[in-house]
Structure 1
Amino acid sequence: MSGHEDQDDLKPSNTPGYKPSAAKSAEEYAKLDANDESLARWKASLGITGDVPAGDTSGPKVTVLTLELDSPTLPPGKKLIFNLSDTAKLADTKKNPIVIKEGVEYNVRITFKVNHSIISGVRYIQLVKRAGIKVDKLEQMLGSYGPHPKGEAYAKNFDPEESPSGLVARSGSYNVRSRVVDDDGEVYAVSWITDWEWAFKLAKEW
């Protein structure tokens, strides 16, 4: 698969009839239609109140912090957490892939911080290839968010999946390309890298 085809696979799915609205800051949303009760409830769900201080909007809207693989079958104390700012460690997984036990239920968890503005229709997209051939694609909706009222990070748990099993599945490693993107097609960078890449292999045990 060519790099161009990879980019197509990493684009968010289109919703028929949906047209993204113009981006607004949290401050602009706070002032928008103040007497509309339904809009007020929606803004409150995003942590937007009537008093939103003007913040620095020069940096990235979103900082993607960690990616975690969790499973009830993991040995006690074992954690598979990527600090996405540690690009050297991510790159090292290409030589030393992380190990995932075959045939077990696991789920992905992502943490991120919204720095300013409102993000809408944000999705995590993951493309998995083995020996250069696409074998899987995951697209998970994260949702819409405003900056956290306390400046804290958001966490999103994805639906559980089952890892492949069998001798064929255990042969070779899998290369993964991940990105976080919104309905407008804006990609939220990790350490100024739009996509991050990592690798895993399947084994009989963790």
Structure 2
Amino acid sequence: MADTAAEGIEDLHINTPEDEIDTNYKPPPEKTIEELLEADKEDESLRKYKEALLGEAKEGKIIVDPDDPRKVIVKKLVLCVTDRPDVELDLTGDLTQLKKQVFVIKEGVSYRIRIEFIVQREIVHGLKYVQKTYRLGVPVDKMTHMVGSYPPKTEVQSYTTPPEDAPSGMVARGSYIVHSLFTDDDKHEHLKWEWSFEIKKDWKD
């Protein structure tokens, strides 16, 4: 089980089957804030739109953590279930300890995953959240979410996945390992981490 799961985390990169569906797709060239503002500057409405979108970033380079050279700092993963308290994973510490904090999910319930992150220094293009789920070392699910492009901001930004239904039934109950990756169009791996959840008949079982 451990060997298979370990191989899985190495397989978690952005060349997923979902990415390969559109073989003609090419990400747009990476542009700085200055280049974006300079382009089409004669179009007044477009200029105002871009300035509104960029907000405080157009005033100068935003650096939230000068000691961190990354453009994207992933802060936390949050499990969201209607009428239940949010459950959070802190992604700023020792990532090897995350599997010890096991999320409990009631079978059949609808849930969402929210990723909270900070963008600093430059605009990041085409963020993606890739997730592979394993049961007993065997891959059972894989999904890729297009998060979008984000300007640098001093405050935390976030992306919430569409609702997913947890599996149900006796066979579905048990422990799962998830390998998560936050990446972008330019194939930068902003963060890769591993976490766990357990499907139970009820929240307190």
| TM-score with structure 1 setting the length | 0.80
Quote the Cα distance in structure 1 between the aligned partners of 2:34 and 2:17.
29
Aligned sequence identity (%): 36
Match of 1:132 among 133, 137, 147: 137
- 1:94: which partner in 2? 99
In the alignment, structure 1 residue 71 sits paired with structure 2 residue 67: no
Any idea what SS the aligned residue of 1:27 has? helix
- In the TM superposition, 1:1-206 aligns within 5 A as 2-3=7-8, 4-7=10-13, 13-14=19-20, 15-37=22-44, 39-40=46-47, 43-44=50-51, 46-48=53-55, 51-55=58-62, 59-74=69-84, 78-87=85-94, 91-95=96-100, 97-148=102-153, 151-171=154-174, 173-189=175-191, 195-206=192-203
1:25 Cα offset (Å): 2.4
In terms of mean alpha carbon deviation, does 153-162 or 47-56 score higher?
Answer: 47-56
| TM-score with structure 2 setting the length | 0.80
* 5+ long unaligned stretches in structure 1: 190-194
Alignment root-mean-square deviation, CA: 2.7
Is 1:93–1:200's contact at 8 Å kept on the other side of the alignment? Answer: no
1:124 Cα offset (Å): 0.6
Any idea what SS the aligned residue of 1:69 has? strand
Q: Against the structure 1 CA distance between its residues 96 and 65, is the aligned structure 2 distance closer, same or farther, given a 3 Å change threshold?
A: closer
1:50 Cα offset (Å): 9.1
1:6 Cα offset (Å): 3.7
Quote the Cα distance in structure 2 between the aligned partners of 1:73 and 1:67.
18
Letter paired with 2:121: H
Quote the Cα distance in structure 1 between the aligned partners of 2:13 and 2:28.
24
Is 1:123–1:143's contact at 8 Å kept on the other side of the alignment? Answer: yes
Any idea what SS the aligned residue of 2:99 has? coil
Q: Against the structure 1 CA distance between its residues 94 and 157, is the aligned structure 2 distance closer, same or farther, given a 3 Å change threshold?
A: closer
Any idea what SS the aligned residue of 2:59 has? coil
Count residues in correspondence: 193
1:137 Cα offset (Å): 1.1
Is 1:112–1:153's contact at 8 Å kept on the other side of the alignment? Answer: yes
Is 1:26–1:52's contact at 8 Å kept on the other side of the alignment? Answer: no
Is 2:37–2:51's contact at 8 Å kept on the other side of the alignment? Answer: no
Letter paired with 1:71: V
Q: Against the structure 1 CA distance between its residues 18 and 44, is the aligned structure 2 distance closer, same or farther, given a 3 Å change threshold?
A: farther
In terms of mean alpha carbon deviation, does 6-15 or 176-185 score higher?
Answer: 6-15
* 5+ long unaligned stretches in structure 2: none
1:162 Cα offset (Å): 0.4
Q: Against the structure 1 CA distance between its residues 85 and 133, is the aligned structure 2 distance closer, same or farther, given a 3 Å change threshold?
A: same
1:165 Cα offset (Å): 0.7
